[in-house]
Amino acid sequence: MKDLVFFMPIKINSTRVKNKSIKTLDGRPLFCWSLETLDKLGVPIYVFSSDCNILKQKLDFNSKNIFFLDRDKRLDHDDVVGIQIYKEFKKLIPSKNYILTHCTSPFIELASYQKAIDLLFKDNFESIITVKKIKTFCWYNDKKINFSLPRQKTQDLLPVLVETSGMYGYKYDVLDSNSRSSENCKLVELSDIEAIDIDDDEDFRYADIIINYIKQSKNND
């Protein structure tokens, strides 16, 4: 049994955006952005897909730690839920610790991946979840969540933490509860840019703007 593995489930025939995982973002396939960062961690990263041959051909960098693992096409059906995919991966690759990540989160930085490893592997939390902090006046079902009247200054508000799809880490036994998280869970806060999740064509356009902004910032340094 391995100590730690990352895995990235990829379904090429996506519903909202055709071939989303291999659609180009700033000239390269979307799935390559996060994989190239993950490859620098020095731990095994598995791409779990029924289209591994296509993905291997599209990979645009020389990897050291990326492995492609074929999965049954039945897992591509629209009625399949995530937990079924995670359990299938667990059967094929036994590990004490797993970190699930997605190619739709292309901006997560190496330090955030490493922090997740440390919390799960060294600090012994049973699970970790990436979140984005929102510090503004929040409502749910017409009820105030994090403030009362009269309103206080926004800097005095308690933040609301929202899950992102960036990473879910868990121990070997956690999936037995049919969940990818447990009560002994640690939240890993991502920056606003890291928390971007690409779900539709508008998200691709927004991601392009972010990339251009990052490039300009580097040029101005």
pLDDT digits (tens, 9 = 90+) for 196-221: 999 999 999 999 999 998 888 777 76
Beta 139-140 vs 143-144: how paired, if at all?
Answer: antiparallel
pLDDT band at 17 (very low <50, low <70, confident <90, very high): confident
Nearest to 87 by CA among 163, 173, 1, 184: 173
The confidence score (pLDDT) of residue 170 equals: 95
Structure tokens at 126: 């049973």
Domains of the chain plus CATH, in order, are 2-129+163-220 (3.90.550.10)
* Exposure on the CB side of residue 108, measured as CA atoms within 13 A: 33
**Tokens in use for 204?**
């691709």
Among the listed residues 117, 137, 135, the one whose alpha carbon sits nearest the alpha carbon of residue 186: 117
pLDDT tens digit sequence for 126-177: 999 999 999 999 999 999 999 999 998 988 899 999 999 999 999 999 999 9
Q: Contact, 159 vs 138, CB < 8 A?
A: no
In this structure, are residues 124 and 51 in contact, taking their beta carbons and an 8 Å threshold?
no
- In 86-152, the DSSP E strands lie at 95-101, 127-134, 139-140, 143-144
Round to whole Å and give the CA distance between 143 and 129.
26
